[in-house]
Structure 1
Amino acid sequence: MATLPISAATSSDARAVLRRAFGYDAFRPGQEELVCAVLGGRDALGILPTGGGKSVCYQVPAFLVEGLTLVVTPLISLMEDQVQRAREVGLQAECLSGTQPTETKRAVVERVRAQRTDLLFVSPERLELAAFRKLLADVRIGLVAVDEAHCISEWGHDFRPSYRRIAAVTGALPCPTLALTASATPLVRKDIAANLRLADPLTVVHSFDRPNLQWAVLPGASRRARMRAVYALLCRLPGVAIVYAPTRRSVEVVRDHLAGCGLTADAYHAAVPGDERSRVQDRFMSGASRVVVATNAFGMGIDKADVRSVLHVQLPTTLEAYYQEAGRAGRDGAPSVCVAFHARRDGALGRRFLQRTHPTPLRLMRTHRALRRAADAAGSIQADGPDSVRILGSVPREWMEGEPTGLLGALERHGAIRRLGTGNGAGTSRVFVHRSPGFEEARRMRRRATAKLRAVSRYARTRGCRRNQILRYFGEERADPCGQCDRCGWQVGGGA
């Protein structure tokens, strides 16, 4: 358990913990400044690259602060892994999630109340539960860490409405807040700090440059042509690889194509049963599996240093998402390859995705009005019931499982509906339909998403250095060509 008040722990204490618990002689760039800031009671915002060791920035203070370190993290599916890694370095770590049996949750709460927990992982939605707020009021909190903090910002690439409500709870706690993310533009950083109510925060922005990564965008006129090219690349490029595909269906198609060519690969997406996902992750981490084909559900929170190549069958809809996913290559500093495929028709696919994710205000208003008319006297409606399906056309399973996607996700973002409960472990079963939401922000968010889509297209079509294009997007200026991308003379799998 933590034994020092915030102000009593020093940088030498932090370095001693780093050596004893983690086996490192020195912090990575940016880590020590953030750790010392929160130990001194100051709010902090850290923009560290993928693989830059963000978890160390709250794990080291968890050894030293007096009270509980509360970590808000977006993916319930990764909490158990985060808990296990924290326990491996000697922390008393726990998590609370809706997927746990009641007895497990009760036991965790008892350990927290008894001050037998150093580190507690929760989702942002849990902060809104009255019982959990009472628990926070009854225990001493030494530090709040907000992981994947870009989810706070409506300007960000992975906006989560529940993240914007974190400060309503944490803002009243007498402890510093540490916000961490790997990908945030200057505008997103400003929004994070404002929304979390960070007071004079120390801001550490590590360079987005990853000199060991080699970048390329290849043409892909058809899905079949891309799959053939992916197979050829995997045959030429050595080492462990992640292949990202945009949908669950495309993951299965690519995996099956590779298998048909004699190359064994595992598939990972949200529809794969939990036990199988765990097996895929374990095989990947142990080196038993060389190639994983996955949606963007794979990779967050997974720390494997020797991934040699990350291939994207199609570029994501934002450069933030692409940088974060591609950045899972080469965490050990060794040369690694990031290749994406792009064709002119991808722009139309991106616009269709934008239409689903950011519907027009008129469509949102009409859908809300229909749901309100179909709701019961208490204002609620079965999310996947016949009335909802008639109004919405379909209810995506991803939304039922907690992802803020599709038309329902857009209504939720704009405060038109609120999830009420879960049904038999399958996901949200009912939603409350608010009487008079506002959709003023919908048009602005749609414009922002369109601008991000155009930035992806510019990256794909640029005739200049690709690395400089990415750095410029994140607010860094570099004049010299990198010599490590296809626009600077580097050839995929063939050297310069």
Structure 2
Amino acid sequence: MYVREEAQGLKERIFSSICRNWGLDYLYPHQKLCIDYLLAGTGYFGEAGMAETRNGILVSLPTGSGKSLCFMAPAARIDGVTLILYPLNALLRDQQARFRRAGVPAELYYGGMTTEERSASLEKIGKMQKGVIISNCESAFSPGMLQALETVSIRLLVVDEGHLILQWGTSFRPSLFHLIQLKRHLENPLTAVFTATISPDDRHILGTLLWSSADWDYVEMLSDRPNIRYRVVPCLHAPTALRLFLRQRFDPSWGFLAEQQNAADELNLPMLVFGKTRKICEDLARKTEIWLNIWGIHNISCGYYHAGLDRDTRKQIENDFAAERRGILFTTKAFGTGVDIPGIRCCVHLSPPENMEDFLQESGRAGRDGNAACSLLFQETGMDFFPAGGCRRRHALSSLGQEIEHCSGCDHCEGNVILEFPEGVAVRAFRDHYRLRLGRDVEKRILSREDFADFPEKLFSSI
């Protein structure tokens, strides 16, 4: 960790205070590690703490591991202002509400605001001495925002969903590639980039792009989510295969006993179905609704979600889907980033995503409550996203330069599925190693039972 031993008592008091402020029972080891680093790097513990950190940190944590708290908690405590950049406007107001519920001053600035809202926000931002500014890259580079930031002491710059810098920065979001210029304008504050999935090559490119040197740190936790079971279904036509899959699960005329069907529903609903285009999602949502009616199933809702819908409509769909325990939602990758609904039980891909990072990111929408979930991919003839045979989990993680000893569930490694976690917490996921990158050196640290000293004892009954 990044604070001297004499500060250990202070750290533990800080962690306890964070739990109280954010309504938590405990912090995970990776959360403590990141919170400690960001507080030390921004001078919270004095010059000694700053001397032990570098210019910035790149953090790769799987979806559902409490990644946001790793930077939200330090931002609420540091002496100065934190600028947080999100790639999607849909996330901004939700994050502002989270900060304000925790008693942290938080101001928004982005293109979706009215002229009057932007003017009022810039006036407040220019006077900020402590708190959080929430924006996106394009808005952060606007002349009005740059002028307002000149009067503000930015101690911490945070970029969430950092993998999108490389995916989008070369095409329709070029401002993502110019973050180093923003850092210089802000007089090089400590910079933290958070992402759920990133390959070793992209990690190197991103580090060079943002820090232009080896003087940055890296924290990684395996992208594996052991409560998710992966399944690949070879097929000739994905929509037809989807209809067959849904009918097998939900049509009582196909011979399921009532209790078997209920169990299947509990395992697979709510369900997300990812399609490549908005039209595919809309068409299949309407067809699925017709199929369900033909099969005599009237208690499963069906809808679609994509970036072409206005903000209020998308928010209403998110709320309805979160409240609906028996729903199927067809969506583009717009739902694959930043939307946090804990109870999704199944993610279906009608076709392979562009890369394995996207597949893991989208699959990670399922099982965020730590309970059993599944990720299903329909792979049409001629596609080789997953090769025939072999462990699905190992293949997915190997593309990110990660290895596992045991598969916790895929259609190739049957019989080793983790079906339940006490209190919905996937404790086994946190028993894998962390790697802390210090410049070019990599130190591997294996977690021990002591790292989980704050956890209730019953969480370890299955370990």
TM-score of the aligned structures, taking structure 2 as reference length: 0.75
For residues 158 and 226 of structure 1, the distance between their equivalents in structure 2, rounded to whole angstroms, comes to 34
Match of 2:81 among 44, 48, 68: 68
How well do the aligned residues superpose, as a CA RMSD in angstroms? 2.8
Shift of 1:486: 0.9
1:341-386 per-residue CA deviation (whole Å, 9 max, x = no partner) reads 01125x4xxxxxxxxxxxxxxxxxxxxxxxxxxxxxxxxxxxxxxx
Match of 1:304 among 335, 341, 362: 341
Q: Could you say which residue in structure 2 is the equivalent of 1:291?
A: 328
Task: Using the TM superposition, name which of 77-86 and 56-65 deviates more.
Answer: 77-86
Q: Could you say which residue in structure 2 is the equivalent of 1:440?
A: none
Match of 1:55 among 56, 59, 68: 68
Note if 1:185 corresponds to 2:199: yes
Note if 1:218 corresponds to 2:265: no
For residues 491 and 177 of structure 1, the distance between their equivalents in structure 2, rounded to whole angstroms, comes to 40
Instruction: Work out which structure has the larger RCO, using CA pairs closer than 8 Å and 6 or more positions apart in sequence.
Output: 2
For residues 253 and 93 of structure 1, the distance between their equivalents in structure 2, rounded to whole angstroms, comes to 40
Aligned partner of residue 65 in structure 1, secondary structure: coil
**CA pair 125-289 structure 1, distance change in 2 beyond 3 A:** farther
Shift of 1:273: 3.2
For residues 328 and 142 of structure 1, the distance between their equivalents in structure 2, rounded to whole angstroms, comes to 32
Match of 1:163 among 155, 173, 176: 176
Number of matched residues? Answer: 375
Aligned partner of residue 150 in structure 2, secondary structure: helix
Note if 1:242 corresponds to 2:272: yes
Shift of 1:116: 6.6
Q: Could you say which residue in structure 1 is the equivalent of 2:244?
A: 229
Shift of 1:96: 0.8
Match of 1:486 among 411, 418, 424: 411
Match of 2:111 among 83, 93, 98: 98
Q: Could you say which residue in structure 2 is the equivalent of 1:15?
A: 15
Note if 1:473 corresponds to 2:366: no
Q: Could you say which residue in structure 2 is the equivalent of 1:400?
A: none
- What are the equivalent positions in structure 2 for 1:279-358 lying under 5 Å apart? 279-287=316-324, 290-345=327-382, 347=383
**CA pair 17-85 structure 1, distance change in 2 beyond 3 A:** same
Q: Could you say which residue in structure 2 is the equivalent of 1:123?
A: 136
- What are the equivalent positions in structure 2 for 1:320-399 lying under 5 Å apart? 320-345=357-382, 347=383
**CA pair 105-9 structure 1, distance change in 2 beyond 3 A:** farther
Task: Using the TM superposition, name which of 285-294 and 317-326 deviates more.
Answer: 285-294
Aligned partner of residue 246 in structure 1, secondary structure: coil
Q: Would the aligned equivalents of 2:79 and 2:130 in 1 still touch at CA under 8 Å?
A: no
- What are the equivalent positions in structure 2 for 1:444-459 lying under 5 Å apart? 457-459=384-386
Amino acid at match of 1:465: C
Q: Would the aligned equivalents of 2:122 and 2:145 in 1 still touch at CA under 8 Å?
A: no
Shift of 1:271: 2.1
Aligned partner of residue 64 in structure 2, secondary structure: coil
Q: Which runs of 5 or more structure 1 residues have no equivalent in the other structure?
A: 1-6, 348-456
Amino acid at match of 1:111: K
Amino acid at match of 2:354: T
Q: Could you say which residue in structure 1 is the equivalent of 2:304?
A: 267
For residues 170 and 282 of structure 1, the distance between their equivalents in structure 2, rounded to whole angstroms, comes to 36
Aligned partner of residue 313 in structure 2, secondary structure: helix
Shift of 1:171: 3.4
**CA pair 51-479 structure 1, distance change in 2 beyond 3 A:** closer
For residues 109 and 403 of structure 2, the distance between their equivalents in structure 1, rounded to whole angstroms, comes to 42
Q: Would the aligned equivalents of 1:49 and 1:206 in 2 still touch at CA under 8 Å?
A: yes
Note if 1:204 corresponds to 2:234: no
Q: Could you say which residue in structure 1 is the equivalent of 2:288?
A: 258
Match of 1:109 among 122, 127, 131: 122
Q: Could you say which residue in structure 2 is the equivalent of 1:389?
A: none
For residues 9 and 214 of structure 2, the distance between their equivalents in structure 1, rounded to whole angstroms, comes to 21
Amino acid at match of 1:74: P
Q: Would the aligned equivalents of 2:85 and 2:135 in 1 still touch at CA under 8 Å?
A: yes
**CA pair 307-279 structure 1, distance change in 2 beyond 3 A:** same
Shift of 1:222: 1.8
Q: Would the aligned equivalents of 1:9 and 1:39 in 2 still touch at CA under 8 Å?
A: no
Q: Could you say which residue in structure 1 is the equivalent of 2:148?
A: 135
For residues 89 and 197 of structure 2, the distance between their equivalents in structure 1, rounded to whole angstroms, comes to 21
Shift of 1:230: 4.3
Shift of 1:292: 1.4
Aligned partner of residue 219 in structure 2, secondary structure: strand
Amino acid at match of 1:484: G
TM-score of the aligned structures, taking structure 1 as reference length: 0.70
1:449-472 per-residue CA deviation (whole Å, 9 max, x = no partner) reads xxxxxxxx242x231100111111
1:118-161 per-residue CA deviation (whole Å, 9 max, x = no partner) reads 11111111232222212111111121001111122369999943
**CA pair 112-483 structure 1, distance change in 2 beyond 3 A:** closer
